[in-house]
Amino acid sequence: LEVSWVYPSGEVTWKEVEPERGIYNWNKLDQEVAKVQVKGKKIWIQVLTDNPDAEVIPQWAIDSGMHQIGEKMDKPVQWDPLYLEYLEGLIK
């Protein structure tokens, strides 16, 4: 059985990818993609914007007043206009 899809060796979080609003750092993900390309495989990419077990939201987004929920107030409200604006910027 040959698997053609692989997952990155570690998580890629929103906080890592966009440490400052509009400033993106894709180095970690670029390294993961390069490792997979050498093997002729495809990679499953997911940038975590919500994870109850880890801090994944950048501080600038928290400070902006983006609504959050959860026991530790660490989950963005998925329909919050600010979250949607930030998410759109992330995926462009």
pTM of the model: 0.76
What pLDDT is attached to residue 5?
63
* Residues above pLDDT 90, as percent of the chain: 29
Radius of gyration for the alpha carbons in the chain, expressed in angstroms and rounded: 15
Q: What is the pLDDT of residue 22?
A: 95
Three-class SS string for 32-78?
HHHHHHHCCCEECCCEECCCCCCCCCCHHHHHCCCCEECCCCCEECC
The confidence score (pLDDT) of residue 39 equals 82
